[in-house]
Chains A and B, each alone.
Chain A
Amino acid sequence: MDIDLTQPKMGFFTDVTLCIGCKACEVACKQWNQLPSDGYALSGNSYDNTNRLSSTTWRHVAFVEQMDRETPAASRWMMMSDVCKHCTNAGCFEACPTGAIVRNEFDDVYVQPDICNGCGYCVPSCPFGVVAVQPKAGVAQKCTLCYDRQKDGLEPACAKSCPTDSITFGPVDELRAKAQARVEALRERGTEVRLYGVDGEETKDVGPLNAFFLIPDRPEVFNLPPKPVLPSRFQPAAYTAGLAAALAMALVGAAVFRPSRERA
């Protein structure tokens, strides 16, 4: 197989200020990826009834209501289409013991369903709470960044269906330049916004995200962790503690059961 070394990293830029909450992305994703229904429960939280990303919801539109009675003009309603971040240092990828999770030629993080064994270790290892084991299939599932469509030169279904271009798809470098220009344009108009997943505090552990966001508020307002942790960072301390205890107990055991002639 030929490997195209010129293939750039591909990703998403999701601009919260452009989202109108139509959920076309959620629907297009479900349809293209043939994801099962989540039922018809109403959450009572604005228009958000899927609540969060899951094994069957790979795009999720959050509805953030900020109402201000005293200064009604200061009220605002923000929508944000969340998705797997396709991290540079992906916790899920590092944790997977089967090698089911790979980084594909588009630099996106992909779960191979035929290799995943459903152990579920990737789930608590994702610092964004994205990947989940789908109970019926018994394997972990999440956004594939439409690997199949990308292979055919198509853009992912969500980006294709987004009527306002709140979701754009393309080479990550180009998207970043575009996002930076957008931040400056908004700032000129007096709207304070920031990028999440390019070079902020949030990228310290997990690195730049191939799916990054433009947000007009603090990350946690959109359920994005301000400081996502990369779990493998904790391994040295953990192995040291475990092996030190094992060594200590070996010494105790050896002393208690030492041959009696040494004892005299």
Chain B
Amino acid sequence: METTAGSGQPHGVAFGASGNFSPDAVAASLARGDGGFGRAQETYYDHPILRKAHWRWEIVGYFFVGGASAGSAALASFASQSDDPGDRRLVRNARYTALIGSALSGALLVKDLGRPERFLNMLRIVKLKSPMSVGVYALSSFSTVAGIEAVRQARADGVVPVDPFGWIPPALIAPVKAISTALMASYTGVLISATAIPVWYRGRRHIPAIFVLSGVAAGAALQNVLLALTGPPTATSRKLEIVETVAALAEAALLLHYERAAGEAGNALFAGPRGSKLKTWTLGVGTALPLLLSLPSLVRPGAHNKPHRVRTLLTAACALAGGYVLREAMVYAGRDSADDPRAYLRHPE
């Protein structure tokens, strides 16, 4: 174990010859029962060196809703390329979801900040160096595009009489949509990875990708729920299940790789009750179970393996629960990692 105390040869004349700071001296001190005199001072009374963010359920919820909205928006784009009439219902649902999701995202952020006008403080500057600033513009442009597309959809559905954004050429919207959706799905992962918190920065090569994959899986699951609730099962459901399965499997693989790469610094996320919960829900209920449930229809898309409404709902609910637990574990692990001075001392980058 690479501890700073382990190599802590006492230096300087004031330290005497007894070796106050070696683990042996601590063991000796404990054996003497002198109540901590002569104990190794690897840290200062074990007080945290770093400080944790105040983020709680609002931010967990924002990470989850934002990811699922971005996933839904992406699915709307993919499905709009298809010529299968069955996919049109998905496009419509996904467009409305993206708008509702981005509005909810904004509301959760405002709830975290305390007052609505505080959101505007972030719009006074553009700062590419700050992932939070990049994220605000990603969210703003994502919401704008989601709004435009939802209005267009409503026009096509005959809900609104005119499309006030009709003059905006699709060629202008497409690139903005692609970039803002990709950032919307990934920036929250960048945001936490680029901090001084060991469990987070150790996962900088994994967390943003895990968030993207989890967002796509959640988006696909959500759309499957909506499809199942709004009409008879179609082949679209199976396509969504394929996307969801690929995303969830890749996510699980990355999560396991992250655990190995992070080593001891990953304890805040992977060890103890939080680790068990993460593995049970995200890997078990969120990935393995849906895979088992949808396996029959994925491998043998025959007549008697048609998408089934109850099974679809169950699969999707599992995937959504796994996605939420992932975001929650990630946010709260950062709090514990900040509180553990040893994580920072032993795992500098």
Contact = CB atoms under 8 A, between A and B. Distances in A.
Interface of A: 43, 45, 48, 51-52, 62, 64, 66-71, 73-74, 76, 91, 94-100, 115-121, 123-133, 135, 138, 190-193, 216-218, 220-229, 231-235, 237-250, 252-254, 256-261
A234 B129 CA distance: 11
B295 interface: no
Contact of B38 (A69, A127, A252): A69
B162 interface: no
Given A121-B53, A191-B13, A260-B83, A241 B48 contact: no
A98 B124 contact: yes
Interface residues of B, number: 97
Given A48-B45, A68-B38, A76-B14, 11 more contacts: A68-B16, A70-B18, A97-B132, A98-B121, A98-B122, A115-B124, A125-B194, A216-B14, A242-B187, A243-B182, A250-B74
B165 interface: no
A69 B32 contact: yes
B204 A237 contact: yes
Contact of B213 (A234, A245, A260, A261): A245
12 contacts: A67-B37, A95-B130, A124-B200, A223-B43, A223-B49, A231-B194, A235-B190, A238-B208, A242-B186, A242-B190, A242-B212, A253-B75
A192 B67 CA distance: 54
A45 B209 CA distance: 43
Contacts of A45: 45
B82 A192 contact: no
Contacts of B82: 257-260
Contact of B196 (A52, A120, A221, A228): A228
Of listed A94, A98, A100, A224, residue having the most chain B CB within 10 A: A98
State the 3 A-B residue pairs at the shortest beta-carbon distance, nearest first.
A242-B186, A74-B16, A242-B208
B91 to A, nearest CB: 10
A209 to B, nearest CB: 15
Contacts of B100: none
Contact of A253 (B32, B78, B114, B201): B78
B81 A124 contact: no
B345 interface: yes
Contacts of B213: 245, 249
Contacts of B17: 71, 74
Contact of B209 (A138, A245, A256): A245
B194 A126 contact: no
Nearest to A222: B44
B196 A91 contact: yes
A139 to B, nearest CB: 9
A263 B183 CA distance: 31
B338 A64 contact: no
Given A223-B49, A234-B204, A241 B243 contact: no
A123 B54 contact: yes
A252 B243 contact: yes
A151 B223 CA distance: 59
B305 interface: no
B136 A97 contact: yes
B155 interface: no
B55 A117 contact: no
B66 interface: no
A66 B337 CA distance: 27
Given A229-B201, A234-B201, A238-B204, A216 B12 contact: yes
Contact of B124 (A48, A99, A232, A241): A99
A116 B113 CA distance: 10
B277 interface: no
Nearest to A124: B195
Given A97-B136, A218-B8, A229-B348, A118 B208 contact: no
A230 to B, nearest CB: 8
A95 B196 CA distance: 11
Interface in B93-138: 112-114, 118-119, 121-122, 124-125, 127, 129-133, 135-136
B327 interface: no
Contact of A225 (B121, B132, B344): B344
B266 to A, nearest CB: 15
A229 B349 contact: yes
A95 B132 contact: yes
Contacts of A233: 349
Contact of A117 (B51, B84, B121, B196): B121
